[in-house]
């Protein structure tokens, strides 16, 4: 029995499922989860002392790798001088200023403790501003465990949703319209049916949460146009893509200005954080300026803010995005070549420093296509990589991430491990 398995047995007695977030339990890939002992750069070491080249990177926050010296120093220094006050601190303003300088559509913003909280709050303010209740989301996009967004698509493009999690009231699910990503006709249908009741359209502008799926040309521009035409707000959920696909996020890449944006992950440098913000006239509805209540004992936490500032300052200074994209492309190409050699149908979309190995035979432009992937084959691929000392995200429908810490040698080692892993998957 591995040290991780022993720890898992113990954890299951006291933590629900042995974990604090379900995907960590390895249900999607089989076997017991690997317990982390430490991380440094692109390497995570497990409870047995085995080292892995990490492509999960805490699900996206660690674009600078584990335990980046500047981030660690900033966090330690902040903790030494008081970890929380429940009073404003100057660094919160500095972080907000830096975020706004990168993402100018966030004229006024708020820091929260998680991405889920940021999304939940953005929806609340959008509903208050428009005085409408319905929200359009896209199948396969994930926006945190917000009750009203844990919905399955209704039957047909323009029916209201039903709960996709136990414990979500039907009535709340019915405030959400779920339609296919990259389907402008479905968007138009939804607006023709519910246009005067839709408060907001929320979208991951580059999807990470059904695996990596890029928007087709014009799709986001269409969303911008139709939302404006009907008086609905456009919300870009950039919890993954913010400071990941470029300094200005996906909105900077595509030159599209949403009304509201949600951030998280990278913005906290590996500590718990979220942020939402956007148009000044919308955000002025948030208490104490306006009637939308939103608060948090640890919101804008000094340690998270210090770590986030250090991370963003390093990204601003080092401009790693072009190099990251190039390296990711190279690794994706290596995966494609290895799959072809093994005779395994796989497609490997990549965007900036995100990529996914889909065990699918068709291009993945929406969730229905993603669902054609052979998740069991992914599980075999994942476990073969794990054995070889490469840690991929433990589920098919997720993005793998490169960080600035990956070395050429580590990438080469990973590419070499792809061959046997695709053989194992076959
Ligand atoms: C991770 C994620 C969230 C939720 O953030 P948490 O910090 O896990 O609550 C929301 N939206 C997207 C796009 C995410 O990837």
Closest protein CA for atom 6 of ligand 1: 115
Q: How many CB atoms lie within 10 A of CB 67?
A: 14
Task: State the pLDDT at residue 164.
Answer: 87
> What does the DSSP assignment read for 288-357?
TTSSB----TTTT-HHHHHHHHHHHHHHHHH--HHHHHHHHHHHHHHHHHHHHHHT---B--EETTEE--
Q: Name 272's Cβ contacts closer than 8 Å, sequence gap at least 6.
A: 113, 114, 298, 301, 304
Q: How far apart are CA 304 and CA 322, in angstroms?
A: 27
Dist. CA 346–CA 422, nearest whole Å: 9
391 is an active site residue: no
pLDDT of residue 181: 97
Give pLDDT tens digits for 214-265: 999 999 999 999 999 999 999 999 999 999 999 999 999 999 999 999 999 9
The angle, 0 to 180 degrees and rounded to 10, between the axes of the packed helices 408-425 and 321-342 is 30
Is 0.85 surpassed by the pTM of this model? Answer: yes
Ligand 1 contact, 110 CB (< 6 A): no
Between CA 139 and CA 148, with CA 145 as vertex, the angle to 5 degrees is 65
Active site residue 387: no
Give the lowest-confidence range in 29-38, 161-170, 345-354. 161-170
- Regarding the beta carbon of 102 and ligand 1, being less than 6 Å apart is answered no
Q: Is the CB of 240 under 6 A from ligand 1?
A: yes
- Is there a contact between 63 and 403 (Cβ–Cβ < 8 Å)? yes
Please, which residues have CB within 8 angstroms of residue 393's CB and are 6 or more apart in sequence?
23, 55, 56, 59, 399, 400
3-class SS at 121?
helix
Residue corresponding to tokens 């803010």: 305
Q: Which atom of ligand 1 is nearest to the CA of 240?
A: 15
Q: Which atom of ligand 1 is nearest to the CA of 115?
A: 5
Q: Give ∠ CA 380-385-391 in degrees, rounded to 5.
A: 115
Q: How confident is the model at residue 424 (pLDDT cuts 50, 70, 90)?
A: very high
**Average model confidence (pLDDT) across the chain:** 96
Which among 267, 284, 283 has a CA at the least distance from the CA of 275?
Answer: 267
Q: Compute the distance between CA of residue 193 and CA of residue 173 in angstroms, rounded to an integer.
A: 17
- The DSSP secondary-structure symbol of 209 reads B
> Which is the closest atom of ligand 1 to the Cα of 208?
15
pLDDT in tens, 50-99: 999 999 999 999 999 999 999 999 999 999 999 999 999 999 999 999 99
Q: Identify whether 142 is a catalytic site residue.
A: yes
Ligand 1 contact, 414 CB (< 6 A): no
Cis-peptide, bond into residue 85, ω within 30° of zero: no
- The finding on whether 208 has its CB within 6 A of some atom of ligand 1 is yes
Ligand 1 center–CA 115 separation, angstroms: 5
The number of the ligand 1 atom at minimal distance from the alpha carbon of 272 is: 7
Condensed to tens digits (0 to 9), the pLDDT of residues 352-406 reads 999 999 999 999 999 999 999 999 999 999 999 999 999 999 999 999 999 999 9
pLDDT in tens, 20-58: 999 999 999 999 999 999 999 999 999 999 999 999 999
Q: Which domains does the chain have, with CATH numbers?
A: 86-317 (3.40.640.10)
Helices (H), 54-213: 69-80, 90-102, 115-130, 170-173, 184-194
H or E, element range at 109: strand 108-112
In this predicted structure, the answer to whether residue 157 has a pLDDT above a threshold of 80 is no
């Amino acid at each position: 029995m591995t040290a991780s398995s022993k720890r898992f047995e113990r954890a299951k007695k006291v933590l629900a499922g042995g974990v604090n977030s379900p995907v960590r339990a390895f249900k999607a890939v089989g076997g017991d989860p690997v317990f982390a002992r430490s991380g440094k750069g692109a390497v995570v070491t497990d409870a047995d002392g085995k080292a892995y080249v990490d492509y999960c990177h805490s699900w996206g926050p660690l674009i600078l790798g584990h335990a980046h010296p500047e981030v660690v120093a900033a966090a330690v220094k902040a903790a030494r001088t008081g970890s929380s006050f429940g009073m404003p601190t100057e660094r919160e303003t500095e972080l907000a200023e830096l975020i706004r300088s990168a993402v100018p559509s966030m004229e006024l913003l708020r820091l929260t403790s998680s991405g889920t909280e940021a999304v939940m709050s953005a929806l609340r303010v959008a509903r208050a501003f428009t005085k409408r209740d319905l929200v359009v989301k896209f199948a396969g996009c994930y926006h945190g465990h917000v009750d009203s967004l844990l919905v399955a698509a209704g039957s047909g493009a323009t029916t209201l949703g039903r709960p996709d999690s136990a414990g979500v009231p039907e009535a709340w699910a019915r405030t959400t319209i779920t339609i296919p990503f990259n389907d402008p006709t479905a968007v138009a249908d939804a607006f023709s049916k519910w246009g005067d009741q839709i408060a907001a359209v929320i979208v991951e502008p580059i999807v990470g949460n059904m695996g990596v799926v890029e928007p087709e040309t014009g799709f986001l521009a269409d969303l911008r146009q139709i939302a404006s035409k009907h008086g609905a707000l456009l919300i870009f959920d950039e919890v993954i893509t913010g400071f990941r696909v470029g300094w200005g996020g996906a909105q900077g890449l595509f030159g599209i200005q949403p009304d509201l944006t949600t951030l998280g992950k990278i913005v906290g440098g590996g500590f718990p954080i979220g942020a939402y913000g956007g148009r000044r006239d919308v955000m002025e509805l948030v208490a104490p300026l306006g009637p939308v209540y939103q608060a948090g004992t640890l919101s804008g936490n000094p340690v998270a803010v210090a770590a986030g500032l250090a991370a963003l300052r390093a990204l601003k200074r080092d401009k790693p995005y072009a190099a990251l994209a190039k390296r990711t492309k190279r690794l994706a190409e290596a995966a494609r070549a290895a799959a072809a050699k093994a005779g395994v149908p796989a497609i490997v979309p990549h965007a900036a420093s995100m990529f996914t190995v889909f065990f699918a035979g068709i291009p993945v432009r929406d969730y229905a296509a993603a669902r054609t992937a052979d998740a069991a084959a992914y599980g075999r691929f994942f476990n073969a990589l794990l054995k070889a000392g490469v840690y991929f995200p433990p589920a098919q429908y997720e993005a793998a991430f490169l960080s600035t810490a990956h070395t050429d040698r580590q990438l080469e080692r990973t590419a070499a491990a792809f061959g046997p892993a695709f053989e194992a998957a076959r």
